[in-house]
C-alpha cells in the first residue's frame, strides 16, 4: 500500500507537535516507518488519507466495542451538541449514565466521572490514600495506569525495594511511595506487604493486563490479592479502563468472580469520547468531596457530549449482553486461525487471549508477566506489523499492546486477516 499523503502529513505534524503525535505509541517508534493518518472510519474499517481501507484491530484502543461511527452513539452526540457542548453545571444525563453503570457493575454504589483513564486511576489512588490514611501503593511492572507521576515507576533491584522514576519530571519523593511487584507472582506482593506493614493504602492492578500484550491472570492470583488485602486492610483497585464493559457487563469483577474495593473505567464508558470514571461502595465514596475531605474536581467532568455517547453505548451493551459472547467467539476464531498459520510455518510464538482481547508474542516461552513479554523477538514483530499493514490489516504498532476486537468485524474480515498472515508468514523467519 502507498502512504504518500500520510508521510507528508506526518512531516508537517512534526513541525508543530512533539514527535508529530499527541500520544507516543502513534509515532511508530517501536516498529519503524511513518504512522498512518486516518481520514474516517466506519464499522470495522479505517480509511486513511491515501484512500486505503484497513481492517481495524485497535478500535481506538478499546472504546469502540460496537465499531466505528456506531449510529446510536453518533446520533446521541449530534442531538446533544445542538443544545450546547459544555456547561460546568449538573445535567440529568450524568445521573442517568451513573445509574446505568452502577446497575451493570457488581459491588459499586456510586461513581464519579472524569475525563480520562489516567485521571480515573490517579483519583482512585488519592481516594484510597485518603480513606486509609496510608501513603504507599503497590503496582505491577508492565501494568499501565496512565501517565500520573505515581504510575511512571520502574522496578527496583529486588522485591522489597522502592521503585525509581522512569520518566524525567517524576520525583524521588513520589517514587518512594510506589512499590513494584511482579504480575502473576503473589509471593512478590506478600514480600512487599510484609516489608511495609501498615503503610500500604492500595494495590492497583489491571485484572487482565493489556499493556504488556494481553496477559491473563493465573489461577488464584487475583483471589490471593483479594485475601491479602482483606488481611492487611489494603484497598484493592481494579484498573478496568480496558476491561470494563468489554469483558462483560460487569467487567473483570463479573468474569473473575472477585470484587475490588475501587474500580476505574474509561474507554467503552465514553463511547469514543474522552471519559473516565472511578467507583466504589458508599463507605469509600463518602470520603470524596463535597461529601468528604478527599478533593477531586474537573470543569469538563460529566461533559454532556461524553455522557450522551457513554449512555448510548452502555444502553446498547446492557440490552444486548450476547455481544460479549459473540466477541469472545470471534476472538477465539481469529486466534485459532492465526495460530495454525504460525504453527504450520514453524514460527515460534505465544498467543494470549481473554474475551475480546488478544495478543501474539514471538517467543517460545509462556508470556505471564512483563519480563517474559519483553523477551519477544521485536525484529520479527516489526516484520509482522508492517507485513500485515501492507495486507490491509491495522494492528497495534507495539508488541506490548493488546488487540481489541469490535462487534462490527465479520467472519469474512477475520478470514481476510488470517489469509493476510498466511501471505506474509514465510517472511517472518
Give the pLDDT confidence of 258-279 residue by residue, as tens digits: 999 999 999 999 999 999 999 9
193, 200 contact by CB (below 8 A): yes
pLDDT digits (tens, 9 = 90+) for 281-328: 999 999 999 999 999 999 999 999 999 999 999 999 999 999 999 999
Quote the CA–CA distance of 80 and 98 in Å, as a whole number. 17
189 Cβ contact list (under 8 Å, min separation 6): 138, 181, 203, 224, 225, 228
Which of 176-194 are b and which e, b meaning 16 or more Cβ less than 10 Å from the residue's Cβ?
Answer: ebbbbbbbbbbebbbbbbe
Is 239 one of the catalytic residues? yes
Residue 5: the pLDDT is 96
Give mean pLDDT, residues 237-251: 98
226 contacts 233 by C-beta, under 8 angstroms: no
The answer to whether 259 touches 281, Cβ cutoff 8 Å, is no
| Strands of the sheet with 403-404, listed across from one edge | 350-354, 357-361, 403-404
> What local confidence, expressed as pLDDT, does residue 185 receive?
97
Question: Is residue 176 scored above 90 in pLDDT?
Answer: no
| Burial (CB count <10 Å: 0-12, 13-18, 19+), residue 82 | exposed
**Amino acid 253: pLDDT:** 98
In 17-91, which residue ranges form alpha helices assigned H by DSSP?
71-81
Rounded CA gap, 115 and 120, in Å?
8
* CA distances (Å), origin 413, targets 70, 163, 393, 419: 18, 44, 10, 10
How far apart are the C-alpha atoms of 360 and 342, rounded to whole Å? 10
Judging by beta carbons within 10 Å of its beta carbon (0-12, 13-18, 19+), is residue 151 exposed, middle or buried? buried
- Residues with Cβ within 8 Å of 55's Cβ and at least 6 positions away in sequence, in order, are 44, 45, 46, 392, 393, 394, 409, 413, 416, 417
Active-site entry in 3, 45, 57, 144: 144
Classified as helix, coil or strand, 96 is helix
Summarize pLDDT for 42-89 with one digit per residue, the tens.
999 999 999 999 999 999 999 999 999 999 999 999 999 999 999 999
Q: How confident is the model at residue 235 (pLDDT cuts 50, 70, 90)?
A: very high
> Residue 164 — very low, low, confident or very high, per pLDDT cuts 50/70/90?
low
Using a pLDDT cut of 70, give the percent of the chain over it.
Answer: 97
165, with CB counted inside 10 A (0-12, 13-18, 19+), is: middle
Q: How high is the mean pLDDT of the chain? A: 95
Q: CA-CA distance, 415 to 130, in Å (whole number)? A: 51
**Of 267, 330, 369, 413, catalytic:** 267
Could you tell me if residue 313 is left (phi over 0), alpha (psi between -120 and 50 degrees) or otherwise beta? alpha
pLDDT attached to residue 166 = 73
- Residue 90: burial class (beta carbons within 10 Å; 0-12, 13-18, 19+): exposed
For the question of whether the overall pTM of this predicted structure is more than 0.85, the answer is yes
Cell of 32: 519503524
Q: Does domain 71-319 have CATH number 3.40.640.10?
A: yes
DSSP letters of 228-286? HHHHHT-EEEEE-TTTTTTSSTTHHHHHHT---SEEEE-GGGGTTSS-EEEEE-HHHHT
110 is catalytic: no
Q: Is 80 exceeded by the pLDDT of residue 163?
A: no
Q: Residue 326, class by beta-carbon neighbours within 10 Å (0-12 exposed, 13-18 middle, 19+ buried)?
A: middle
Q: Read off the pLDDT of each residue in 383-402 and give the average, rounded to a whole number.
A: 96
- Given the residues 48, 56, 239, 369, select the one marked as catalytic: 239
- Beta strands at 200-205 and 136-140: parallel, antiparallel or unpaired: parallel
Say if CB 271 and CB 235 are below 8 A apart: no
> Distance (Å, rounded) from C-alpha 428 to C-alpha 143?
28
80 catalytic residue (yes or no): no
- What are φ and ψ of residue 194, in 5° steps? -70, -35
Give residue for cell 448510548. 312
The answer to whether the beta carbons of residues 29 and 36 sit under 8 Å apart is no
Amino acid at each position: 500500500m502507498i502512504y504518500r499523503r500520510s508521510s507528508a502529513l506526518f512531516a508537517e505534524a512534526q513541525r508543530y507537535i512533539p514527535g508529530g503525535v499527541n500520544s507516543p505509541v502513534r509515532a511508530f517508534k517501536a516498529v519503524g516507518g511513518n504512522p498512518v493518518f486516518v481520514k474516517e472510519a466506519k464499522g470495522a474499517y479505517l480509511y486513511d488519507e491515501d484512500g486505503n481501507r484497513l481492517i481495524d484491530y485497535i478500535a481506538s484502543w478499546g472504546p469502540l466495542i460496537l465499531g466505528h461511527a456506531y449510529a446510536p452513539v453518533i446520533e446521541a452526540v449530534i442531538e446533544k451538541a445542538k443544545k450546547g457542548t459544555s456547561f460546568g453545571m449538573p445535567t440529568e444525563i450524568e445521573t442517568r449514565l451513573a445509574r446505568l453503570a452502577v446497575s451493570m457493575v457488581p459491588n459499586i454504589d456510586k461513581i464519579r466521572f472524569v475525563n480520562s483513564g489516567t485521571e480515573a486511576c490517579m483519583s482512585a489512588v488519592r481516594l484510597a490514600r485518603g480513606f486509609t490514611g496510608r501513603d504507599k501503593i503497590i503496582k505491577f511492572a508492565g501494568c499501565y495506569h496512565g501517565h500520573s507521576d505515581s504510575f511512571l515507576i520502574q522496578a527496583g533491584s529486588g522485591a522489597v525495594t522502592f521503585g525509581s522514576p522512569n520518566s524525567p519530571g517524576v520525583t524521588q519523593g513520589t517514587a518512594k511511595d510506589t512499590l513494584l511487584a511482579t504480575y502473576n507472582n503473589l509471593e512478590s506482593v506478600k514480600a512487599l506487604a510484609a516489608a511495609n506493614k501498615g503503610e500500604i493504602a492500595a494495590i492497583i492492578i489491571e485484572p487482565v493486563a493489556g499493556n504488556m500484550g494481553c496477559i491473563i491472570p493465573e489461577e488464584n492470583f487475583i483471589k490471593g490479592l483479594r485475601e491479602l488485602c482483606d488481611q492487611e486492610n489494603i484497598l484493592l483497585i481494579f484498573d478496568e479502563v480496558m476491561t470494563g464493559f468489554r469483558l462483560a457487563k460487569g467487567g473483570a469483577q463479573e468474569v473473575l468472580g472477585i470484587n475490588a474495593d475501587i474500580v476505574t473505567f474509561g474507554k467503552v464508558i465514553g463511547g469514543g469520547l474522552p471519559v473516565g470514571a472511578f467507583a466504589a461502595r458508599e463507605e469509600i465514596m463518602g470520603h470524596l468531596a463535597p461529601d468528604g475531605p478527599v478533593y477531586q474536581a474537573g470543569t469538563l467532568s460529566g461533559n454532556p457530549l461524553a455522557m450522551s455517547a457513554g449512555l448510548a453505548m452502555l444502553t446498547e451493551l446492557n440490552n444486548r449482553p450476547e455481544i460479549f459472547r459473540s466477541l469472545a467467539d470471534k476472538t477465539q476464531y481469529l486466534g485459532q486461525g492465526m495460530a495454525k498459520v504460525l504453527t504450520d510455518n514453524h514460527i515460534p510464538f505465544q498467543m494470549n487471549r481473554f474475551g475480546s482481547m488478544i495478543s501474539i508474542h514471538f517467543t517460545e516461552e509462556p508470556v505471564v508477566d512483563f519480563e517474559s513479554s519483553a523477551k519477544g523477538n521485536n525484529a520479527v514483530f516489526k516484520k509482522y506489523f508492517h507485513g500485515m499493514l501492507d495486507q490491509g490489516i491495522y494492528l497495534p504498532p507495539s508488541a506490548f499492546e493488546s488487540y481489541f476486537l469490535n462487534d462490527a468485524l465479520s467472519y469474512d474480515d477475520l478470514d481476510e486477516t488470517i489469509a493476510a498472515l498466511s501471505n506474509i508468514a514465510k517472511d517472518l523467519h
